[in-house]
Structure 1
Amino acid sequence: MLYRKGKLILAIMGICCVPMLSWAQAFLSGRVIDKKTNEPVAGASVYIRESQTGDNTDEKGLYKIKLSQSGTYLVEVSFIGYKTIKQSVPVDGSTTKNFLLEESSKVLNEVLVKASVQQAEINQIRKSPMAVTVVDGAKLRGRSSGIEEILSRTSGLKVRKS
């Protein structure tokens, strides 16, 4: 009888404590905005290293991070093309914190692109050690066959339709 009462008391305490555990959770939410244009930054990363949790902002720049408990956390906000923000934020229950990201611009030296083109004559191509077939356009004129049929007549070349 005493054993049953003990089990009953433990069950009641367990049921009563479950909601308390959910109350111990904290939330950090807010918005990430471009400092210059006041536009939301979609896809920005909001990360809390201590809890190893984070979120990416949606198209409206909104984020929401669920934390196991209240406290002060170091929040890191980053996105490509912007300076990373690291800021200490006190979180108690449900806390809202907005971040303004500033563009990161770097001046680069000039970039020089060089290219060269080699032109080869048809006779040089025919003399090459690789198997090369030159398709004469004059012979193909007036034929109703498609490019696939013409290429399939070339030796060593297979054309598959997918």
Structure 2
Amino acid sequence: MTRSILAGIAALGLVLAVPSGTATAQARPTPSQQPIMVGADSAEQTPAGFALRGRAEVLQGDNRLRADAIQGVSTGGAISQVTASGNVYYVTPTETIRGDRAVYTVSDTTIVVTGDVILTQGRNVLTGGRLVYNIDTGAARMEGASGTTGTRIQGVFYPQGTRD
């Protein structure tokens, strides 16, 4: 059973993979080529895939998915969807996304974060009820909370070159 859990977690590397930018003199390996590290208070194989519970964390390269619980769903032997719930954080070298729940769909490389969402990029902050974030492109779309009258997105943006 441990081998099956580890195989499922290894497939989770797709969640944290971000394509590399332009080549530099000293090329860094892409995140998907780096080791996957996991941590949780418990892990188990489930009929649909795997589950990490209690301070669940998956790291690969410079990217991190952290939540109270992380579940992966397998389709045809590969991870097709990952759901993180409770105190969700998805962190890349340039963004931090916080929410109550996140669903990552491997086929379209998007993560949908819901519930008091906060997106930060440097000092810039955007808040709302639902964020759709493309892991490959970094494109983000924030929406107000659905079903709540008058809820709007809010943000603070600093022009480049300004100081505190």
Bin the TM-score by the shorter chain: under 0.3
Higher helix share: 1
Q: Which has the higher strand share?
A: 2
Higher relative contact order (CA 8 A, sep 6+): 1
Using structure 1 for the length normalisation, give the TM-score.
0.26
Q: Which structure has the greater CA radius of gyration?
A: 1
